[in-house]
Chains A and B, each alone.
Chain A
Amino acid sequence: MNWLHDFILPKQASTLSGNIDNLFWFITAINVVFFALIAILVIHFMRKYRRKSENEVTPHITHNQTLEIVWSVIPLFLVIIIFFWGFHGYVNAQVAPANSIEIQATGKKWVWQFEYPDGMRTLNAFHVPVNRPVRLVLSSEDVIHSFFVPSFRIKKDAVPGRYTEEWFTATEPGVYQVFCTEYCGKGHSDMLAKIYVDDEAAYQKWLLEGDEEIKTMPLPELGKLVYENKGCATCHSLDGTRGQGPTWKGTWGAMHTMTDGKQIKVDENYIRESILEPQNHIVQGYEPIMPTFKGLIRDREVLGVIEYIKGLK
């Protein structure tokens, strides 16, 4: 019957999916029996009792208490079993194990952002290790979205102004599709993401080095990605407007006066230091508010930012 399972349901890839699928097939079995019963009777009665003459007399059967009790109690008994089974599975899916890896998943039109406990952020894709529980803390920046992973049999709404959560333990390495399942406008059907389930070694390697993409992408493009994803854009503009921090436009090679009066030229070393030790030198007229990105940014990403800034004339 495996072919039937594969036709009807997605691959099982989390510790939750087995129990849910068993209930699915239990209900299916009940449904097939009841539907077959009803369909056979309808068709049988349509043929057997089809009117043969206008004067046919039918028996006057108004009710049958025994029969009515039987056909009320049997379904009642069955649905109570289904209720408890479904409730049990649901409760399991509500409470994440205490040792879960926590990942923040934030929906906004029409992307998913993920943030690891160490501050590392990814967009529309993230990696998790196989056989370790992962707790997703969901929220939204605009309208309601919903985070659905068919192979894990999990789904939960991401609601603006509050946190919701869901969890899973992936049982098999692979790439798993994420859908947004709460209608959110024009890009709703393109609000997709992927979960990469790695074995432990590959996961540790990914944590250190990042995606293949990060390793091969041209540096200026990588810098632009970092600018957009790591929050640089919040304070540093690209068009010369003054933000919380100095604009990046035309800053390459310029001389800046620091709060301690020192003159510093913007070069590779200054940019690297500003990312990793931002409190060392503060440009005059700005507050010392930039957090350090030490441990949150990979070496190649720093190089990318440097090359990106070079291009912003």
Chain B
Amino acid sequence: MAHYAPGENYLNSPPGLWSWLSTVDHKRIGIMYLWSILFFFLIGGLMALLVRIELLTPKQTIMTAEQYNQVFTLHGAIMVFLFIIPSVPAALGNFVLPLMLGAKDVAFPKVNLMSLYIYWTGALMAVGAIVLGGIDTGWTFYTPYSTSTGGAVSLMTLAAFVLGFSSILTGVNFIATIHKLRAPGMGWFQLPLFIWSMYATALIQIMATPVLAITLLLLFMERVFHIGIFDPKLGGDPVLFQHFFWFYSHPAVYIMIVPGFAIISEIIPTFSKKTIFGYKAIAFSSVAIAIVGFLVWGHHMFVSGQSTLAGAIFSFLTFLVAIPSAVKVFNWLATMYRGSIDLRAPMLYACSFLLLFSIGGLTGLYLGAMSVDVHLHDTYFIVAHFHYVMMGGTVIAFLGGLHYWWPKMFGRMYNERLAAIACALVFVGFNVTFFTQFVLGSRGMPRRYYNYLDQFQPLHAFSTYGSWILGAGLFLTAGYLLATFRKPMDAPANPWGGKTFEWETQSPPITHNFDFDPVLLHGPYDYRPAKPRENEPVAH
């Protein structure tokens, strides 16, 4: 086995920019993904702040209607395609998944690097589309608006098409890695639940993303060659586009939220110092969500004119998929019961997640109910609902994961007090911003509106003030996390008392992850006091 000098780790050896750009180390690829998605989180977040400032008053506040339409489109497209979808799997997942399995790397390291370059290519194309005329279609690209409007829609479509491949390659890699590279002794039911969720996510990525690719390609051909698939003037069917689009984009909601579940299932046992409650229920519910999630896309289309029977089936299946999500929340709560709860930053985020995701899930009941959905569809109620799931769920879980693995990734501890303050600001700001929007929506305020009736102004203003609190919390987070780079590395190998493999190697890990051959000795959440073992393997 190779010998490592003290202080040597994956960050500093080998040194040099080229060694990073040509690396096949999953950790370095994960870190490069991390900085890339954080950059786009910043851009998408600034656009969100601009949208909220514009909505402070009816009519023009700071921008024209055309600019507003571009800004909200780019906010959505950037957040979905460039930030949330790759956030947990490609950035955090790439870093921790092989470590958790006790592996040296993913199954196909070069494919992993290729996926990063494909992501960068897609990201550059998206930035190009913004510079070359922008897009104003909404992130949903509904036809025939998207086939008839000006701007760089074709380029943006191709960008999303390319980004899809990076997502597929990550999925393929994870599935192969989970099947083939588990440490000796690690059966399927000794996998950390993070891995189960990543497996479910990868399945959706592989099965659903090609449909998006086909749809976007058809849209591109419709715009460029006028082939007449979606445009009624050419004999096409615009609602067909919606079916295609949501056939991907509803499962994509699970590509976004299941990784959130993955992180929460790690944080809660670690900081409760207690084994997870209902391991198999959580594991199987992830897979169940992944499968049933494919059959509910029509619930986005209850007012589109689709057949009542089809709508009823979609509605019923939508309610069924709600159950496994509810079960997970109860399982996490039961894990906290009689635990030894340490309220550090990751756990504060996990508790925020439980509250916010519950609101996101419960408000889905209104939207699954067909008659009520008719009233709420395409209003701010929807905007509030999916922000509670996507931001209150996934992004809060991502922030929890970022704080959880930050010491492992960079070998540095952050300021706990500032982290707690930032988490509180994010929680309060988020609720002020988005809970208000439930009321706006149920009162009838439609979404994607530049101008609005005066009666909605007080609530809009309130929501905008919330966005400033939320923004302050996130900028504070960026501040104290970046400040950790000003001091020497101080993180121990296992700062939180975690039981999974990534905590058994140094922080930050060496290039080959472990300086011993990991063998599974206990379950991922086994907090029982260690019993003396016979044949104790040597761990060094």
Contacts and interface: CB of A to CB of B under 8 A. Distances in A.
Interface of A: 7-10, 16, 19-20, 23-24, 27, 30-31, 34-35, 38-39, 41-42, 45-46, 49-52, 56-64, 67-68, 71-72, 75-76, 79-80, 82-83, 85-94, 142-144, 146, 148, 150-151, 153-157, 159-162, 164, 177, 179-190
A45 B446 contact: no
Given A159-B239, A161-B238, 4 more contacts: A31-B363, A56-B273, A79-B322, A189-B452
A56 B334 contact: no
Contacts of A182: 142, 378
B274 A89 contact: no
Nearest to B377: A155
A143 B326 CA distance: 39
Given A60-B528, A67-B334, A160-B232, A34 B450 contact: no
B516 interface: no
B358 A9 contact: no
B366 A24 contact: yes
A46 B343 contact: yes
Contact of A90 (B279, B302, B316, B529): B302
26 contacts: A9-B442, A16-B371, A20-B372, A23-B372, A34-B358, A38-B329, A42-B355, A58-B275, A58-B527, A59-B338, A61-B275, A63-B281, A76-B323, A82-B319, A83-B319, A86-B370, A91-B308, A92-B371, A159-B238, A161-B237, A161-B238, A164-B305, A183-B447, A185-B145, A186-B69, A188-B450
A51 B273 contact: yes
B372 A49 contact: no
B316 to A, nearest CB: 5
A190 B58 CA distance: 11
B340 interface: yes
Contacts of B142: 143-144, 182-183
Q: Which of B237, B304, B341, B366 has the most CB of A within 10 A?
A: B341
Contacts of A60: 275, 526-528
A27 B366 contact: yes
A155 B375 CA distance: 7
A195 B227 CA distance: 39
A43 to B, nearest CB: 8
Contacts of B138: 183
A204 to B, nearest CB: 30
B371 A88 contact: yes
B333 interface: yes
B365 A79 contact: yes
A31 B529 contact: no
A164 to B, nearest CB: 4
Contact of B374 (A56, A63, A154): A154
B214 interface: no
Nearest to A95: B308
Contacts of A49: 272, 336-341
Given A38-B358, A76-B323, A155-B377, A90 B338 contact: no
B334 A181 contact: no
A90 B311 contact: yes
B319 A42 contact: no
Contacts of A75: 322-323, 326
Q: Which of A56, A76, A80, A155 has the most CB of B within 10 A?
A: A155
Given A148-B446, A155-B374, A164-B305, A62 B275 contact: yes
B521 interface: no
A184 B50 CA distance: 21
Interface of B: 65-66, 69, 136, 138, 142, 144-145, 148-149, 232-233, 237-239, 272-275, 277-281, 302-305, 308, 311-312, 315-316, 319-320, 322-323, 326-327, 329-330, 333-334, 336-343, 351, 354-355, 358-359, 362-363, 365-366, 368-375, 377-379, 439, 442-444, 446-453, 526-529
Q: Which of B136, B142, B369 has the most CB of A within 10 A?
A: B369
Given A62-B279, A68-B327, A75-B322, A148 B359 contact: no
Given A83-B319, A159-B304, A186-B65, A45 B365 contact: no
A61 B369 contact: no
Contacts of A144: 142, 144-145, 238
A70 to B, nearest CB: 10
Given A157-B304, A179-B444, A71 B343 contact: no
A185 to B, nearest CB: 7
B368 A86 contact: yes
Given A27-B372, A45-B339, A38 B355 contact: yes
Contact of A143 (B148, B340, B373, B374): B148
Nearest to B237: A161
Contacts of B237: 161
Contacts of A46: 336, 341, 343, 351
Nearest to A33: B362
Contacts of A34: 358, 362
B449 A188 contact: yes
Contacts of B338: 49, 58-59, 61
B223 to A, nearest CB: 14
Contacts of B278: 62-63, 68
For the complex of A and B, 10 pairs with smallest distance between CB atoms: A89-B371, A161-B232, A86-B369, A150-B444, A90-B370, A189-B449, A56-B340, A79-B319, A58-B274, A164-B305
B336 to A, nearest CB: 4
A232 to B, nearest CB: 25
Contacts of B443: 8-10, 150
A41 B65 CA distance: 46
Contacts of A30: 362, 365
Contacts of A186: 65-66, 69
B444 A148 contact: yes
